Structure 1
């Protein structure tokens, strides 16, 4: 029988994205798969049920979960959702593998085969499946727009009859995918942009986008394009060297994160105090603790006249393109799992092997298994 894909309505209150958009659903059906959805699943991303041609709508969530061979998700399934899944079901989505040991252990105990899109290896052939990068690019773009909206001054330089307005000074902390998009967008808006990253090899990328790279002499590159966690001495050195630069900025956009760990503190409370009143900090790392000591996830904090904003789920604020990009990531990954409409994953394939989270009653990645067995939170 053909593989049946199930797409439920996301249960997270603030989530507007959907795991499958009409164009991608049509492509998957053309590859021999069946697609079933919960009515209204695409509404938050402005896709009506009628846009999904040849997709069967299943009213009851329980029926959808029972009928699906592969469940496609954006947010991780809740414990209640996992309990609706059987051992023959596979789940594919952003599963936050290191964020909730209880959820991973429930997937394991239910015998579910789960693939966490966060674990897709950063190799050339997997770029089209890299959901972290696709969603991070959206977050970086939106962060620059949010900063410009919150700032009480223009981003670009303007020459007017009333005089010349100097461009806003923007500092982007972290030059990963989100940071680079924030740099590019801030530059397009006309700001004077600087950027910092602990990986010195990002200097050329930063410069190519029209920004100035801050060289502080702290290097912490790691495998896979990520940054390793700094030592305590390196953290102290980094914070001290950044302090003077931060104080001179009108806007700081922070994007620094270490997978599976609390976000590093780059902007101390004293640094915020030293900034000019009316300055703005947009902290994209808010959901993992924040890069700024003053950040409160989901809140806008005013500290000594400085606005510190810690937005949640930024990609979900551009749900149309975020859903389109994410759906393509999933469809490209499904190419490794389904052949001629039949379930046929190649478990020897490095991308499949490194992305699988739970299989046959076991937690596969060692780092996740250690956290689950240790009861870490």
Structure 2
């Protein structure tokens, strides 16, 4: 009998995205899977129930999860929600596992096999499943749009008979996926853009987009990158030198966008109130790391805060501010991963525990937390 996939409606009031698109539903049904979409699941992404139904899905209520073999979500389900899932069901979502050991234990206790999409390895095979990149790309774009909305001045240089309006100066801190898209978007809007990052490889990427690279380029800087391509935390000495350089640069900027995150750690503090105080009245700062504690001193999650005369934008779920696009990309990420877990002849789940994607993303299975980063490996050693 073909497996049933349930598309859940998100319960978090800040979450506008949905874990499926019309296209992904069509492809799942073409694989022979039974697809049930919870009524109203696509409302925040402007996908009506009728569109999912026309694509081949059945419409249901939350109780539909009780018989589902697979539950697709944007965010990790709550303790109340997992009570409605059947034992042994597969749950795939952005699980936010770091620092949430109690939630992982609850998922394991419920007998669920859970996969965290944000732990997808950055390898060629998994590029189409990389939710961090797909969502960060949109967040970087939206950060510039939000900044321009609050800036109350023109972004490009305007030359008129009445005089010349100078181009806005935009400084992007962190040149990962979000940062690079922010640079590109600000450049498209005509701003003069500069950027910084602790990874040496970022210098060439920043320059390729027409922005100026700002960093203390000493020996520590030249070695500052993890094997996975992420930024690593720098020494206190380097941070002090970089902060001095950045502080001087920030004083000349109109808009600052911060994007720095370290997996499993609080977001590093990059911009102090003292730095903000040196900026001109009407300047803008966008903190894309605010949900992880923030890069900017004084930033408030879910708000625009006035800090030393600077508007500090701390919106939650920035990708979700353009939910239709974010859901479309996220649904493709999910579908691509789900396809690797399905036996296409039997139209049922066939999870290979030795698959590198499964090993990297599986959090819980058979009543246990199994991921080595969250206690699984330690537990196994302790039992031996």
For 1:26, the equivalent position in structure 2 comes to: 26
For 1:155, the equivalent position in structure 2 comes to: 155
Runs of 4+ with >3 A deviation: 370-373
Q: What is the deviation of 1:366?
A: 2.0
Q: Secondary structure at the residue paired with 1:126?
A: helix
Q: What is the deviation of 1:208?
A: 1.2
Is contact 1:254-1:283 (8 Å) kept?
Answer: yes
**5 Å matches for 1:290-309?**
290-309=294-313
Q: Secondary structure at the residue paired with 2:75?
A: coil
Is contact 2:68-2:86 (8 Å) kept?
Answer: no
Partner Cα distance (2:348, 2:291) in 1: 38
Q: Secondary structure at the residue paired with 1:118?
A: helix
For 2:356, the equivalent position in structure 1 comes to: 350
Partner Cα distance (1:191, 1:99) in 2: 38
Q: What is the deviation of 1:254?
A: 0.4
Q: What is the deviation of 1:235?
A: 2.3
Is contact 1:98-1:371 (8 Å) kept?
Answer: no
> Structure 1: which 5+ runs fail to align?
none
Aligned length: 371
Matched, 1:282 2:286: yes
Superposed CA deviations along residues 133-153 of structure 1, whole A, max 9, x for unmatched, are: 100001000001111111132
Superposed CA deviations along residues 137-192 of structure 1, whole A, max 9, x for unmatched, are: 01000001111111132110110111111111100000000000000000000000
For 1:267, the equivalent position in structure 2 comes to: 271
For 1:251, the equivalent position in structure 2 comes to: 255
Partner Cα distance (1:309, 1:43) in 2: 26
Is contact 1:87-1:112 (8 Å) kept?
Answer: yes
Is contact 1:104-1:372 (8 Å) kept?
Answer: no
> Structure 2: which 5+ runs fail to align?
380-384
Partner Cα distance (2:370, 2:199) in 1: 29
Matched, 1:369 2:371: no
For 1:55, the equivalent position in structure 2 comes to: 57
Segment of structure 1 superposing worse, 282-291 or 50-59: 50-59
Is contact 2:371-2:377 (8 Å) kept?
Answer: no
**5 Å matches for 1:1-377?**
1-52=1-52, 53=54, 54-59=56-61, 61=62, 63-217=63-217, 219=221, 220-340=224-344, 341-369=347-375
Segment of structure 1 superposing worse, 218-227 or 106-115: 218-227
Superposed CA deviations along residues 14-56 of structure 1, whole A, max 9, x for unmatched, are: 2111101111101111011110011111111111111112211
Is contact 1:15-1:316 (8 Å) kept?
Answer: yes
Q: Secondary structure at the residue paired with 2:97?
A: coil
Partner Cα distance (2:199, 2:247) in 1: 19
Structure 1 residues 256 and 144, CA gap change in structure 2 (3 angstroms):
same
RMSD: 1.5
Segment of structure 1 superposing worse, 215-224 or 202-211: 215-224
Q: Secondary structure at the residue paired with 2:74?
A: coil
Superposed CA deviations along residues 103-126 of structure 1, whole A, max 9, x for unmatched, are: 111011112100000110001110
**TM-score under structure 2 length normalisation:** 0.94
Partner Cα distance (2:32, 2:378) in 1: 37
Q: What is the deviation of 1:372?
A: 11
Q: Secondary structure at the residue paired with 1:252?
A: strand
Q: What is the deviation of 1:353?
A: 1.1
Is contact 2:9-2:41 (8 Å) kept?
Answer: yes
Partner Cα distance (1:185, 1:372) in 2: 44
For 2:382, the equivalent position in structure 1 comes to: none
Is contact 2:36-2:57 (8 Å) kept?
Answer: yes
Partner Cα distance (1:90, 1:334) in 2: 10
Q: Secondary structure at the residue paired with 1:335?
A: helix
Q: Secondary structure at the residue paired with 1:74?
A: strand
Q: What is the deviation of 1:371?
A: 12
Partner Cα distance (2:367, 2:378) in 1: 13
